[in-house]
Copies of this chain bind each other. A is one copy, B any other.
Amino acid sequence: MAGKQLNGVNVQQLVDTVNAVKADPDIARFRFRAETDWIEGGHSRTKIQGFYGAGQEDASRTKPFIIDGDEPPVLLGGNAGANAVEAVLHALASCLAVGFVYNAAARGIRVENLGFRLEGDLDLHAFLGLSDRIRPGYQNIKVTYRVKADAPREQIVELCDYVQKTSPVLDIIRNPVPVTVALES
């Protein structure tokens, strides 16, 4: 790929992408997909491969990514994978990482390392059908960033703030997303 790389990001491609979206807003419309099959007990397996975006069906993935989900024994599973709410923490950190690194590259900041620790508090009463007052999902999530980069701390803090405003997964978690669930006929 031509163009200067910073943090493993092709900065020219980033600029080109922004300009392409400015010229044709439809390029920014994406539709992501997943297919999940239940296996046994708490164990299911998700396949992720194609998506629509930038005006066409993506063909870059020659085989699907496989993600297994399961529960630990204390939650009646067999530990075949991280559970669903742990996968949410992964999704959040992975999103913040991309946002931080891409925006750092756009600002000419070299990132040496970047890490996240996440924790989420959840009360099982609702899942077990024992309360309709306690919410089923996380009551709160705490994220801690660790960053080493060639920029002063105030610039890093400002970048973190910007990333929070523009992170797709943080928005999905912090704000309501309409979800329709339908049984195939």
A83 touches B94 (CB 8 A): yes
Task: Type the 1/0 row for A120-161, where 1 means its CB is closer than 8 Å to any CB of B.
Answer: 111111111110100111111111111100000100110010
Q: Which chain A residues in 103-119 approach chain B with CB under 8 Å?
A: 103, 111, 113-119
Tally of A interface residues using CB under 8 Å: 128
Copies of this chain, complex-wide, total 2
Assuming A61-B72, A179-B143, A181-B160, is B174 touching A90 (CB within 8 A)?
no
Name A125's contact: one of B28, B127, B153 (CB within 8 Å): B28
| Interface contact A116-B69, CB-CB below 8 Å | no
Chain B residues whose C-beta falls within 8 Å of the C-beta of A171 in the assembled complex? 126, 135-137
Which of B8, B28, B132 is A43 in contact with, Cβ under 8 Å? B8
Binding site for B on A (CB under 8 A): 7-10, 13-14, 17-18, 21-22, 25, 28-38, 40-44, 46, 48, 51, 53-54, 58, 60-61, 65, 67, 69, 71-77, 79, 81-103, 111, 113-130, 132, 135-147, 153, 156-157, 160, 162, 164-184
